[in-house]
Amino acid sequence: MSNPTIVATQTAVPRSIRLLRLKFRLLSGFSTELAFGAAWRLFTTPRKLPEKSWEAAAVAEARQFWVNSARGAIAAYEWNPQGSRTVLLVHGWEHRASFWGVMVRGLVGAGFRVVALDGPAHGASAGRRTTLPAFARAVQAVADEVGEVYAAVAHSLGAAATAGIPVEFNRAGNGRLPRLVLLAAPGSTTAVAQRFAQFLHLPEAVVQRMHRYIQEQHGRDAESFSLIQMGHTLPADRAMLVHDFNDESIPFAEAQEIANSWPNLDFRPTTGLGHNGVMRDAGVLKQLVEFLS
């Protein structure tokens, strides 16, 4: 229940991917259990992407602090501590808090206090592997630490963790979240796993073993974490979903499924922004600030 951003098809398959597919074909032929173990490690291990040129500036004015969690310390960042209302930003798979640079500047300019975290096994936070529930537990720890949260803005895996588990906001108060914004959110956890399996050409026996493992570990099936099942249960006064028609990682049809399952969700499709562009597009940011105001 991680990695929602693997693309299942591509025109030119790199040699490294062809070798990886061969590895899993050989492992599967020898032992489903061995193939499952290797696939699960890959599925739950984010790559440490090189730092982009603009990331340092994004966190230069932030106060970094640390939040304890069961799996190790979570790095968190705060901008504009005097802001009247707190917005919590939750990044996606293989991203980190610094990826929110454009969003942070816009929200601070609108007067908000902004907090973001590096998810477990991401950025400066502890760990090498993570799952959707572990990611959500980290978000929960930060949400509990920072006090009253007015809004959560979550992208991709972060959206799945925030609204699919879901995270419980403002537990010391009325337990409600005034505003929730989801960007490029996957609708179905089993669809995420299926895309991963298709990308690696995993046999169905390995995929079913992954589903059984999730059931064994969490006492619920993978699809029960899906936004189409759980999103509308998060007690948010108002919720908005932004998803691009050209999202190369999460099919637009999944956003439509989320919208169909969620009464009163403010669904705002975009065109030409892709999976990550919705995080930093000026038009989306303007709509988001208006929605939060």
Q: Which amino acid is at 24?
A: F
Q: Mind listing the pLDDT tens digit for each residue in 241-279?
A: 999 999 999 999 999 999 999 999 999 999 999 999 999
CB atoms within 10 A of CB 37: 15
Do 142 and 245 sit in the same domain of this protein?
A: yes
pLDDT band for 11, please (50, 70, 90 cuts).
low
Strand order in the sheet with 63-67: 63-67, 74-79, 113-117, 86-90, 151-155, 177-183, 236-244, 266-270
Rg (CA), the chain: 19
What percent of the chain is modeled with pLDDT above 70? Answer: 96
Same domain, 233 and 89: yes
SS3 of residue 181 by DSSP:
strand
**How many residues belong to the chain?**
293
Is position 154 within any domain? yes
| DSSP result, 164-177 | HTT----TTTTS-E
**Are 138 and 276 contained in the same domain?**
yes
For residues 271 and 285, what is the distance between their CA atoms, to the nearest angstrom? 15
Residues 74 and 119 in one domain: yes
User: Same structural domain for residues 117 and 96?
Assistant: yes
Beta pairing partners, 117: 76
Q: What is the domain extent for residue 241?
A: 57-188+226-292
Residues 111 and 255 in one domain: yes
Q: What is the pLDDT of residues 184-229, one digit of tens each?
A: 999 999 999 999 999 999 999 999 999 999 999 888 888 999 999 9
Whether residues 262 and 126 fall in one domain: yes
Specify the CATH number for the domain of residue 182.
Answer: 3.40.50.1820
Asked if 98 and 58 count as a contact pair (C-beta separation under 8 A), the reply is: yes
Within this chain, do residues 39 and 67 fall inside the same structural domain, yes or no? Answer: no
213 shares its domain with 268: no
Q: Same domain, yes or no, for 114 and 153?
A: yes
pTM for the complete prediction?
0.93
CA distance linking residue 117 with residue 89, whole number of Å? 7
Average pLDDT rounded to a whole number, residues 50-61: 91
Pairing label, strands 74-79, 63-67? antiparallel
Overall number of domains in the chain: 2
On whether both 94 and 168 belong to a single domain, the answer is yes
Do residues 173 and 66 share a domain? yes
